[in-house]
């Protein structure tokens, strides 16, 4: 790469490193001060505690980098430890902040070192239990969650139509080919009519992850496999990933729609494309439904950005419409435009409690089923995880939506 293209990036990189180091350093210092220094454990525990926090403070950023660049088992193992510790540290900090007001209460000597030790031991015990549960949840088998949805414009011939949704898989530093292959095997066992991926499939470049997303080519669905972009696709090179997914037989819907069932068969052949066909206008009430998809809410770059009006332009409103959109906040416009069902992800259901309490500061919906007027919304908790290999009170899911026509009441 020419030197002129590298040098302008150096100031931004230096600022990023300084900020990251400052934040991580501050987090480790606060945890050390409250869990080790203030309780007054005495020697040798205080020295061992200080050294442990320093070691983890150095390991964490190094592990983040190793997760991106290392191809060795040792490098990936260190990355897994670093991400895992970061998740544990985050839970410790939440607990310490929660307990902070207790220290100010002038009752029963809560501010005394002995009481501080009691609080520290209680908190560490809770975090250890939460951490073990979180690792088992995040790294274990992903459960299938079945959801029955009744849609007013769905024709009777499609009763029981199975849409399997993957979301926020985050193949990247700590989730690799083996995980992707297990997910594909689980999806295929459901014998889906349609498979959809609602964004954040990857967390890295095509060059780094091509081998690990390759099992996607084995997905099988009668009416095809479709995806939309998430914010992490844009961090990782959206255009390159759209091209790679196309090569694997996954069609990315970019502010467009296709007709599923009841129309002309697509030209892709086999059970990857099924009966999905492009829908450029009114085709009448033909018994199928529209599957639309939009770019992520935060999409950037030439030619990118969400445009639901374009995706729905000329649509026959007698047919049902299912929209794929990565972020739940994109459902509000969909409701205003008469979409019957919106499938989203992005939130991970909070991933690590109590983050779910803060998701609502950015998103109107967190996890599960919601209704906005006549529009139904489903927010997946995600199939993988981002960052720490932990899921505390927010288990991952592969969602099997079973669609039925709404019965008159």
pLDDT in tens, 59-97: 888 888 887 777 788 888 888 899 999 999 999 999 888
First-to-final CA distance of the chain: 66
Share of the chain above pLDDT 90, in %: 65
Kindly give the pairing relationship between strand 251-252 and strand 320-324.
unpaired
In sequence order, what DSSP letters do the residues of 161-185 get, joined into one string?
Answer: EEEEEE----BSSS--HHHHHHHHH
CATH superfamily of 144-405: Metallo-dependent phosphatases (3.60.21.10)
Task: Give residue 113's pLDDT.
Answer: 61
What CA–CA distance (Å, rounded) separates 121 from 123?
A: 5
Could you give the residue range(s) of every CATH 3.60.21.10 domain in the chain? 144-405
Tell which residue, 263, 286, 284, has the closest CA to residue 273: 263
Looking at the predicted structure, is the pLDDT value of residue 275 above 70?
no
pLDDT tens digits, one per residue of 330-343: 999 999 999 999 99
**Per 3-state DSSP, what percentage of the chain is helix, strand, and coil (rounded to 5)?**
45, 15, 35
Q: Is the pLDDT of residue 8 over 70?
A: no
Is 373 in contact with 335 (CB distance < 8 Å)?
yes
pTM attached to this predicted model: 0.87
* CB-based contact 62:99 (threshold 8 Å): no
DSSP at 37: I
Instruction: Check pLDDT > 90 for residue 119.
Output: no
């Amino acid at each position: 790469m020419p030197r002129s293209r590298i040098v302008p990036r150096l100031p931004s990189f230096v600022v990023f490193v300084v900020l990251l180091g400052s934040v991580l350093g501050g987090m480790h210092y606060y945890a050390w001060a409250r869990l080790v220094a203030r309780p007054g454990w005495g020697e040798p525990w205080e020295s061992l505690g200080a050294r442990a926090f320093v070691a983890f403070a150095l390991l964490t950023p190094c592990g983040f980098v190793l997760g991106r660049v290392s191809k060795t088992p040792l490098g990936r193992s260190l990355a897994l430890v670093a991400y895992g510790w970061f998740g544990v540290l985050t839970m410790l900090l939440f607990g310490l902040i929660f307990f902070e007001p207790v220290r100010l209460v002038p009752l029963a000597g809560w501010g005394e070192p002995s009481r501080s030790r009691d609080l520290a031991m209680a908190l560490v015990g809770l975090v250890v239990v939460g951490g073990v549960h979180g690792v088992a949840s995040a790294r274990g088998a992903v459960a299938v969650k079945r959801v029955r949805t009744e849609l007013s414009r769905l024709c009777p011939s499609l009763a029981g139509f199975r849409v399997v949704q993957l979301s926020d898989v985050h193949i990247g530093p700590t989730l690799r080919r083996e995980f992707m292959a297990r997910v594909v095997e689980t999806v295929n066992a459901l014998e889906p009519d349609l498979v959809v991926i609602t964004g954040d499939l990857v967390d890295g470049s095509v060059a780094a992850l091509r081998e690990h997303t390759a099992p996607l080519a084995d997905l099988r669905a009668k009416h095809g496999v479709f995806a939309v972009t998430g914010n992490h696709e844009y961090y990782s090179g959206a255009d390159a990933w759209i091209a790679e997914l196309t090569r694997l037989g996954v069609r990315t819907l970019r502010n467009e729609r296709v007709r599923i069932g009841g129309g002309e068969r697509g030209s892709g052949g086999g059970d990857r494309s099924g009966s999905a066909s492009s829908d450029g206008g009114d085709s009448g009430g033909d018994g199928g439904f529209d599957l639309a998809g939009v770019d992520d809410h935060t999409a950037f770059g030439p030619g990118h950005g969400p445009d639901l009006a374009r995706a729905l332009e000329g649509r026959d409103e007698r047919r049902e419409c299912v929209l794929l959109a990565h972020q739940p906040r994109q459902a509000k416009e969909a409701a205003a435009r008469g979409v019957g069902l919106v499938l989203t992800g992005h939130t991970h259901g909070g991933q690590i409690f109590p983050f779910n309490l803060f998701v609502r500061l950015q998103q109107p919906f967190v996890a599960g089923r919601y209704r906005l007027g006549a529009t139904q919304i489903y927010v997946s908790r995600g199939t993988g995880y981002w960052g720490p290999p932990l899921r505390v009170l927010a288990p991952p899911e592969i969602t099997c939506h079973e669609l039925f026509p709404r019965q008159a009441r």
